Chain A
Amino acid sequence: MLIRSVILGMLAGCLSVAASQAQDTRNLLESKESLYNNIYVYEQGPYRSMTFGHNRRIYTESVYNTRDELDLPVDYTRFMTASVMYAKNVSSILEIGFGGGRTAWYLHRFLPKVQVTSVELDPTVLEFAKKYFGIKEEPNFHVANRDGRLFVQESKERYDIILIDAYRGPFVPFHLLTKEFYQLVKDHLAEGGVVAQNVEPSTMLFDAAVKTIHSVFPQVDFYEAGGNIVMVGYPGDERKPEDLAAVAQERDKEFGFRYKLADMLAQRKRIDIDNGQVIDAKAKVLTDDFAPVEALKTIERHNRKLP
């Protein structure tokens, strides 16, 4: 019985793979096995996408519109820029997890005077970003090939905005999700600085991540972004909507952002993290000592939506 179901399962698996390949109209530009991932770059119409893993359909890392380098086709990448309305000053930005570099490049183009630094672990991802995603080194735009945590640990700089988006694909590096890591990030924020992080909210890892970031940053604002959630964390008191709106309007005007900060502000959500209504009361703060990220990722979240 068991054997039969295993065989049937395998057959079904083969069929679904065959079906998905039959539907695949994308043109594979290049694929490469790197130290960390199996990376594929596809082209379909004007869009190029970078995907990881053999399960190609699921883990899309980055999408680039070859006809419009300022287009951010993936929702959450737009909302990562919401952090700009929180920072007291905007003179330096650090991004951890470059991928195809869309967010960093967008910010660089609209904020040419701002020092944008991005850190990417995988050298092949950087190679592909430069080859297929229109990325190049420019004054005020730098990409470092380094582990994100190591980079922050060794950095003597402070940043007004730190963007964290290093958990894409099937693997979650736990050392970029612990209280110690966020403390390190906080220590590298300039006065009035903020951190923005992309998280995928369908598993219990989300609850743990929220609690962990909240353990270091007393304020966390949430933005729902096409299935993902962007969290913006900052020290001090909760920002008043009217103050944020004023900054958003001023910076929209000053920098001429395509995706208006003011529009994003309308999506802002605040939740009571500790009352157990949205975030599981039993979710634990992740530490370097205790961070079962793989296990948490296998537990589906109950359907507790953001209000």
Chain B
Amino acid sequence: MSAPVSRAGLVAIYVCSFLVGCVLMGFEMLGSRYLNPYFGSGIGAWASLISTVLCALAIGYFAGSAIVDRQPTTRTIGVMILIAAAYMAVVPATADTVMADILDTIGDGPAATLLASTALLLVPLTLLGTFSPIAVSLLTRSAGEAGRVAGLVYGVSTIGNVVGTLVTTFMLIPTIGSRAITYYFAVALAGCAGILFIPFGRKSSRP
């Protein structure tokens, strides 16, 4: 646990942690707007969305922990976030076709609603889910501070979740429309990726 990221890298990771947290939950709220016209707005739609988000996070955390073993850099998480951004960027133009196809082929039961939320959320949120474990690994300089770092990263990203949920629901959806918000999210993620592509120094495992 040597050659940690520089001070600038540290700040960049926390800033991105916050922004990724914002987008993650913001996109879940948007998910309801994409799903409701096709699958209704009941508790079933929400159960599907929430379970899909949590599945994505679980997969993301596992994948992240596997990546940590392969000596990641800030660039690694930058790539993950960039792919998530690209995925989100195609959602507004394609979501209606996908939702309508699912509705036509499977109907509107729990299986269909789950499939729809999976199509919408699973890929980008899994990629975003890899962020925190990798970030913890990059920020940890000694085994003794692992707990403190993990707490900070999850705290910052959870505050991002809260801000993302509230801002999306109470400010963005009432003013600009779901498709535009999705594009902004994609841009915000691409911005994060851009920051993370700046070479901050590499974390390598102890020889």
Choose one: A147, A178, A288, A295; the contact of B174 (CB below 8 Å).
Answer: A295
Instruction: Report the interface size for chain B: residues with CB under 8 A from the other chain.
Output: 22
Choose one: A121, A181, A287; the contact of B40 (CB below 8 Å).
Answer: A121
Q: Are B42 and A174 within 8 A (Cβ)? A: no
**How far in angstroms is the closest Cβ of chain B from A40?**
19
Q: Which residues of A contact B178 (CB under 8 A)?
A: 288-290
**How far in angstroms is the closest Cβ of chain B from A187?**
15
A289-B177, A290-B176 known; A35 vs B37 contact (CB < 8 Å): no
**How far in angstroms is the closest Cβ of chain B from A96?**
12
Q: Are B43 and A147 within 8 A (Cβ)? A: no
**Chain B positions 109-140 with a Cβ under 8 Å from a chain A Cβ:** none
Closest to A122 in B: B42
Q: Are A175 and B37 within 8 A (Cβ)? A: yes
Choose one: B41, B43, B103; the contact of A173 (CB below 8 Å).
Answer: B41
**How far in angstroms is the closest Cβ of chain A from B172?**
9
Q: Are A173 and B108 within 8 A (Cβ)? A: no
A289-B178, A290-B176 known; A295 vs B170 contact (CB < 8 Å): yes
Choose one: A150, A171, A288, A295; the contact of B108 (CB below 8 Å).
Answer: A150
**Chain B positions 32-47 with a Cβ under 8 Å from a chain A Cβ:** 33, 36-44
Q: Which residues of B contact A153 (CB under 8 A)?
A: 103
Q: Does B91 contact A (CB under 8 A)?
A: no
Q: Does B179 contact A (CB under 8 A)?
A: yes
Q: Does B173 contact A (CB under 8 A)?
A: yes
Interface size bucket, A side? 20 to 34
Q: Does A180 contact B (CB under 8 A)?
A: yes
A181 to B40 CA separation, bound complex (whole angstroms): 12
Q: Does A108 contact B (CB under 8 A)?
A: no
A150 to B44 CA separation, bound complex (whole angstroms): 15
A106 to B101 CA separation, bound complex (whole angstroms): 38
Closest to B173 in A: A292
A289-B178, A289-B179 known; A35 vs B44 contact (CB < 8 Å): yes
**Chain B positions 158-176 with a Cβ under 8 Å from a chain A Cβ:** 170, 173-176
Q: Which residues of B contact A175 (CB under 8 A)?
A: 36-37, 40-41
**Chain A positions 178-214 with a Cβ under 8 Å from a chain B Cβ:** 178, 180-181
A110 to B100 CA separation, bound complex (whole angstroms): 38
A287 to B37 CA separation, bound complex (whole angstroms): 10
Q: Are A147 and B108 within 8 A (Cβ)? A: yes
Choose one: A36, A149, A171, A295; the contact of B37 (CB below 8 Å).
Answer: A149
Q: Are B174 and A174 within 8 A (Cβ)? A: no
**How far in angstroms is the closest Cβ of chain B from A37?**
10
Closest to A296 in B: B174
Q: Are B40 and A149 within 8 A (Cβ)? A: yes
A178 to B43 CA separation, bound complex (whole angstroms): 21
A289-B179, A290-B178 known; A36 vs B42 contact (CB < 8 Å): yes
A131 to B170 CA separation, bound complex (whole angstroms): 40
Choose one: A121, A288, A294; the contact of B42 (CB below 8 Å).
Answer: A121
**How far in angstroms is the closest Cβ of chain B from A58?**
21
Q: Are B37 and A288 within 8 A (Cβ)? A: yes
Q: Are B177 and A287 within 8 A (Cβ)? A: yes
Q: Which residues of A contact B170 (CB under 8 A)?
A: 295
Choose one: B37, B43, B177; the contact of A180 (CB below 8 Å).
Answer: B37
What sequence of 0s and 1s flags, for each residue 20-55 of chain A, a beta carbon within 8 Å of any chain B beta carbon?
000000000000000110000000000000000000
Q: Which residues of B contact A174 (CB under 8 A)?
A: 33, 36, 41
Q: Which residues of B contact A173 (CB under 8 A)?
A: 36, 40-41
A290 to B33 CA separation, bound complex (whole angstroms): 9
Instruction: Report the 6 A-B pairs with minimum CB-CB distance, sorted nearest first.
Output: A292-B174, A290-B177, A295-B174, A147-B40, A175-B37, A289-B177
Give 27 A-B contacts (CB < 8 Å), ordered by A residue: A36-B42, A36-B43, A121-B42, A147-B39, A147-B40, A147-B108, A149-B37, A149-B40, A150-B39, A150-B40, A150-B103, A173-B41, A174-B36, A175-B41, A178-B37, A287-B177, A288-B33, A288-B37, A288-B96, A289-B33, A289-B179, A290-B176, A290-B177, A292-B173, A292-B174, A295-B170, A296-B174
